[in-house]
Amino acid sequence: MNISKWISLVFAVVCSNALFAQTVDQKVAALEAATKAAQSSGDNAWMLTSSALVLLMTGPGLALFYSGLVRSKNVLGTMMHSFALMAVVTVVWAIYGYSLAFGEGNPVIGGLQYLFLRGVGTTPNADYGATVPHQTYMVFQLMFAIITPALISGAYAERIKFGAMLLFTVLWTTVVYLPMAHMVWGKGGLLNAFLGGKIPCFDFAGGTVVHITSGISALICALYLGKRIGFPKEQMKPHNLALSVTGACLLWVGWFGFNAGSAVNASGLATSAFVATHFGAAAAALGWMLAEWFRHGKASMLGGISGAVAGLVAITP
């Protein structure tokens, strides 16, 4: 074999190796891109599902839970509270709520860059959810903004006019919820442990933003409004406990989205939150019924659902 043939053979081998290496690199790059796309799609699907589950907690979850505990004449009015809140808070959130909660502002309240959801599109926001569209994160947080004032509605059930309830909801959301959400979860918030907060507060799924704010506000409402008219002369037993049981079961299911969805991805962290949520509710329900059994000689359905809801609140970090 002469020199020219050897040179040709070597050249052919080198070219084939280069082409093979290029093909492998392209395949690896394509595989990595496909993996990232699949992860993003999976995370987005889980977050959208979680958003729907959290909305399920307000209507019909809380609507049924509270309406079963009031007198029959106030059932529709109590249900209307939860339904109206879903609409009112959504409009507030779209106009200025999301911007004040998650826009960049000062340590107490956000700015106006997301006014009317301007700039909130399908591109992920790395500060809040690197693998899901910004719109997905926005709507997930909207469901938290809806259920928080809805939790308070149980404190003023049967004692407030519809118009006053709407005004209270708008004012409370603006003055209490939005600043608290920004301080704990918003970028640059005073209590944000991950995005520049000066006083770190670790709130994974709303233990502070949702439960403490709504609980304290509900207590203040109950103390300010006083007892229901006729109490304690009239018996005010739950008129339809079956509605409350149905509502409590829906709350239990919806809470999986509330806690596990707060991972903002379909990861092992979401799984851990999911498992802890279920075990917390089950243990609390059983504990409450056992306490009733020892004290009164029998367990009650109202005690069971009260324990389950208490456990769900307690397990929310």
Specify whether 68 is located in the same domain as 102: yes
What is the residue whose two structure tokens read 């084939």?
A: 16
Query: Which pLDDT value is given to residue 238?
Result: 82
Q: Examine the fold and report which residue of 222, 239, 256 is the final residue of a domain before the chain moves on.
A: 239
In a domain, 47, yes or no: no
Residues 125 and 260 in one domain: no
* Domain-terminating residue out of 219, 239, 259: 239
Quick one: how far is CA 311 from the chain centroid? 17
Specify the CATH number for the domain of residue 68. Answer: 1.10.3430.10
Please indicate, yes or no, whether residues 134 and 198 belong to a single structural domain of this protein: yes
Sign for the CA dihedral angle at 124, 125, 129, 131 comes to: positive
pLDDT value for 5: 65
Q: What gap in Å lies between CA 138 and CA 100, rounded to an integer?
A: 12
Same domain, 78 and 199: yes
Task: Answer yes or no: do 65 and 153 share one domain.
Answer: yes
Whether 36 maps to a domain, the answer reads no
Query: Do 207 and 106 share a structural domain?
Result: yes
Structural domain range at position 180: 57-239
CA dist., res. 6 & res. 190, Å (int): 73
The pLDDT, as a whole number, for residue 280 is: 96
**Residue 284 within a domain:** yes
- The predicted model scores a pTM of 0.86
Q: What is the pLDDT of residue 28?
A: 47
- Sign, Cα dihedral of 298, 301, 303, 305: positive
Q: Does residue 4 lie in a domain region?
A: no
Mean pLDDT, contiguous 10-residue spans, the chain (317 residues)? 61 57 54 54 94 95 93 89 96 97 94 95 92 96 97 89 94 97 94 86 92 95 83 75 95 97 94 96 97 92 95 91
Phi first, then psi: what are they for 3, rounded to 5°?
-65, -40
In a domain, 101, yes or no: yes
* pLDDT reported for residue 1: 53
- Tell me if 89 is assigned to some domain: yes
Would you state the structure tokens that stand for residue 131, as one six-digit string? 């693998």
Nearest partner of 169 among 79, 66, 84, judged by Cα: 84
Q: Is 26 within a domain?
A: no
Question: Do 216 and 252 lie in a common domain?
Answer: no
Out of 216, 239, 262, pick the residue that ends a domain: 239
**Domain total of the chain:** 2
pLDDT score at 8? 63
